[in-house]
Amino acid sequence: MEVLARIVSVAMVSVFVQNAIFDRAFGSNVVIYASRKNSTVIGFTLGITAMTTIASIISFFVDSALLNTQFGWLFMPLIYAAIIGALYVLALFFFWKVFPKIFRRMRKYVHLAIFNCTVIGALFLNSNYGSDLPSYIGYGFGTGIGFFLACFLLNVAREKLDSDKIPRVFRGYPIMLVYIGVVSLAFYALAGYTADF
Amino acid sequence: MITPITQRDPRKLYLERFVFMAALLIPAVFRGGFRSLMVCAVCVICCMFTDWVCCRIRRVKYDIKDPAVWFWGLSCAMLMPAGIPHVIAGAASVICIVLGKHIFGGNENLVFSPPAIAVAFLVICWPGEMLYYPKAGEVYPMFSEYTGTLARSVEYSMKLGTVPTQSVLDILLGNVPGAIGTVNILVILVVGICMLIKHSTSFTAMISCLATVSAIAAVYPRIDVDPLMSVFYELSTGSLLFGIIFLAAEPYLLPKRRAARAIYGVVLGYTVMMFRYFGKVEMCFVFALLITNALSCCFDTIVENVLWWKRNYISSFEGNKNRAQQGGIKLTDTQEIELPKKYRYNTPPIDGKVKGHKRRKPIASPITDEEETSADKEDGNG
Amino acid sequence: MDKKNLPKVSRDGLFRQNIVLMSGLVTAPIIVAATTFERALILTLSFLLISYTSILICRFIPRRIVYTVRILAYVGVAAVMYIPTALLMNAWFPETASHVSMYIEILVVNSLLLAKTESRFYLMPYGEMAIDAFVYVVGYALAAFVVGIIREFLAFGQLFGFRVCDAPMPAAKTTFFGFFLVGILAAVCRAITNHRRRRSENAGIIRKGAE
């Protein structure tokens, strides 16, 4: 029960206080792309949440060995990329064999959902802030939920953000950034300023 | 059901709200001199000028009599301390109009409350100027800097977990450090009741927000007082009452349906309390309002979907039939309908009675086998 | 020198298809980490060393290999290029590099390498691709330096590390300000691009009319 409470509390911090999009800007272009339709919101969220959670669990054991060495930090991106790559291949193989219809639909954007700053950024944040396995799991899971929150907020406002009333130079990508900026301003009241990277 | 506030002209609504908010200037000027009036004038004039400049850049028609711009300028000023430098007050107006209105496409396409964006930005960028207030009863110079002692608000002491030292009467009468228009609780309450009577604000959103805040404050008090006092302190501090009455029910941002407005109020109240409990800055209301504005687009959709589901899958057959005849809902093919006259081409009247029907004679007689084979021989296919 | 043998230099990557301001890719380091000129310089050098070299190297990966496997190779090469990049940045900027280390690490999965290569670079001849990719990196540098200089002045009252005045707006180093600034710069870039396109279209119409 304590473990579950720790996971939930760390996940809440990851969703609201250190949101991957609003606080760290990880994967802001993926969020803008994924928020276009309800199906892509759900698809991307599921993919990213699964990847961050499972990769966080694996990275806990890797970090235990790697961070204690003098030059281990140099190889962290390579090892994290290998973890994500292995999970990516396993996931593709699993869906190809078990759910071929889903595999055909998700084939064109699965690499965008997996190889992005949100997933790898979650692993780096874990290595900076995580201490034990429950916090790693909570942080990884919370990153995916935080991504969903950002996607959802963008999706519900799509109708207004795609309106013709918006000045031509702001239509599309600039107004999305301004919108994310305003929501980030609101979340700042929860987070405060995180100065260290 | 649509209530009066959503049926009213937004321009008239904003004008009424502007007049009601201006009434808060009377006790502010009485207490602290004409500096408050000067700050409000600077904000409103800067808002109007910025609106003109933006309309020129966007090549849209400028409306000098747009009461929404006056309302937003006055709102920004009311949320600032009387001793704020005029430059910062002007910056707030520019941010309010540029970032809150024109970048998102004008009044008809607002996403966030413009004064909430401006005040939130200022609280983070210049906390020293925004969150320190001259003491109650001090008269501030109109143009020069205030040189007296500055104090923190009652909300700050609650954030630290200490019981406010000011008496209930002082808090009600506004004899506490605070923003220009947010400390006179009694006046705000009177103005709020007048606005409810005039349908200038949303009763549903206001009551649901107040109820949510009161419930959370009563059950989980932040300070060591009894539940009633906890509710009083939470409602009377941090610009909450001012924000609920004036900012939460903006005509361009409020959901259309009553149930959606109730959800909006509950979400706003809950978000404010979460920011107060776990947040790191004061003036939590404006930050919570920004998040609730971002979510408000979906409240109407949620309510409409729930109502559609309820009508189609839960209500009785007779109720559906009556509603269908009145043209209310979409229908499945298992339900009997009565079509309007213009759609009744050759259909017999539906009266529930089982009748026999005559088969019509076919237009052309079917081709027999002998005729088919003779036709094939003529074509040479045999 | 025969002009036909020289590769074509496209300036799309500078403004019209600027990777940060127009395409919206690789924005996280600039929005969060580019708060001073020095940090913008570190991010630009890292981006050049990781992304540009990876693009040049990964060009030799056969296109017969399915994209699903090729993307793993791209990320692997970028992760290998990170090692000398990190060592160089720590040697050249010992005090500041640690503050932006995370945003250098996430460059191994940046979209210029994973998406733009397939849609643009690897469809061009090698020489043209090398110049085009370099122009894109210059476009990234332009965005990073503009954002870094503006935020350094507003947040710290400094220009290129030299103190000029009191900090006008200390909150300029926050993430939300980065979103606002990049969004507004993207709108400005779009306005400039549209204006230049209309001018060239009008010039083309006038030329046709004169003919």
Q: State the average pLDDT over residues B247-264.
A: 90
Is B297 in Cβ contact with A157 (below 8 Å)? yes
Q: Which residues of B touch C154 (CB under 8 A)?
A: none
Rounded Cα distance, C34 and C29, in Å? 6
Nearest CA in chain C to A93: C68
Out of B96-105, B135-144, B287-296, least confident range: B135-144
**Chain A interface includes B297 (CB < 8 A):** yes
> What's residue A196's pLDDT?
41
Q: Which residues of A touch B298 (CB under 8 A)?
A: 156
> What's residue A102's pLDDT?
83
Distance of residue B370 Cα from the nearest chain A Cα, in angstroms: 52
Q: State the average pLDDT over residues B204-209.
A: 93
- Of A99-103, B182-186, C61-65, C67-71, where does the model show the most confidence? B182-186
Question: What does each C-alpha distance from B342 to A52, A123, A156, A193, B346 come to in angstroms?
Answer: 59, 65, 39, 66, 11
Question: What is the dihedral sign for C-alpha C127, C132, C134, C135?
Answer: positive
Q: What share of chain C in percent tops pLDDT 90? A: 54
DSSP A128-165: HH--SHHHHHHHHHHHHHHHHHHHHHHHHTHHHHT-TT
Chain B (86-105) residues lying within 8 Å, Cβ to Cβ, of chain A: 99, 102-105
CA A14 from chain center: how many Å? Answer: 10
> What's residue B282's pLDDT?
85
- Of A116-120, B6-10, B151-155, B214-218, where does the model show the most confidence? B214-218
**Chain C interface includes A32 (CB < 8 A):** yes
> What's residue B1's pLDDT?
46
Confidence of residue A110 (pLDDT cuts 50, 70, 90): confident
Looking at per-residue pLDDT, the higher value among C205 and B309 belongs to B309
Listed by start position, the domains of chain C span: 15-210
Q: Which residues of A touch B108 (CB under 8 A)?
A: 165
pLDDT tens-digit profile of A5-41?
Answer: 999 999 998 998 889 999 999 988 899 988 988 888 9
pLDDT tens-digit profile of C70-107?
Answer: 889 999 999 999 999 999 999 999 988 888 999 999 99
Rounded Cα distance, A120 and A52, in Å? 8
pLDDT at residue B346 above 80?
no
Strands (E), chain C: 158-159, 162-163
Contact indicator for A34, A151 with CB cutoff of 8 Å: yes
Q: Give Cβ neighbours of residue B355 (< 8 Å, ≥ 6 apart).
A: none
Residue B151 pairs in a beta bridge with B133
pLDDT at residue B97 above 80?
yes
Q: Which of A190, A193, A194 to mutate to test the interface with B (most CBs of B within 10 A)?
A: A190
Looking at per-residue pLDDT, the higher value among B372 and A43 belongs to A43
> What's residue A190's pLDDT?
83
> What's residue A195's pLDDT?
42
Q: What share of chain A in percent tops pLDDT 70? A: 97
pLDDT at residue C160 above 60?
yes
pLDDT at residue B154 above 50?
yes
Q: State the average pLDDT over residues B135-146.
A: 75
In which residue are the tokens 């711009």 written? B69
pLDDT tens-digit profile of A115-173?
Answer: 889 999 999 988 887 788 899 999 999 999 999 999 999 999 998 999 999 999 999 99
> What's residue B375's pLDDT?
44
DSSP B132-148: -EEPTTPPPPSSS---S
All domains of chain B, ordered by start, with CATH? 9-309 (1.10.3430)
Rounded Cα distance, B278 and B262, in Å? 24
Q: State the average pLDDT over residues A77-105.
A: 89
Q: Which residues of C touch A178 (CB under 8 A)?
A: 179-180, 183-184
> What's residue B350's pLDDT?
63
pLDDT at residue B365 above 60?
no
> What's residue B199's pLDDT?
86
Chain C residues bordering chain B (beta-carbon distance below 8 Å) = 169-172, 174, 180
Q: State the average pLDDT over residues B81-107.
A: 93
Nearest CA in chain A to B284: A189
Contact indicator for C27, A29 with CB cutoff of 8 Å: yes
Q: Which residues of A touch B58 (CB under 8 A)?
A: 167
Measured from the Cβ of residue A94, the count of other Cβ atoms closer than 10 Å reads: 11
Rg (CA), chain C: 19
Q: State the average pLDDT over residues C35-56.
A: 94
Out of B75-84, B306-315, C11-20, C172-181, least confident range: B306-315
Q: Which residues of B touch A183 (CB under 8 A)?
A: 290-291, 294
Burial environment of residue A68 by CB neighbours within 10 A (0 to 12, 13 to 18, 19 or more) = exposed
Rounded Cα distance, B221 and A163, in Å? 43
Q: What share of chain C in percent tops pLDDT 70? A: 92
Confidence of residue B228 (pLDDT cuts 50, 70, 90): very high
> What's residue B377's pLDDT?
45
> What's residue B148's pLDDT?
75
Size of interface A-B (CB pairs under 8 A): 79
Contact indicator for C72, C14 with CB cutoff of 8 Å: no
Confidence of residue C6 (pLDDT cuts 50, 70, 90): low
Confidence of residue C8 (pLDDT cuts 50, 70, 90): low
Contact indicator for B327, B338 with CB cutoff of 8 Å: no
Nearest to A177 among C67, C182, C190 (CB): C182
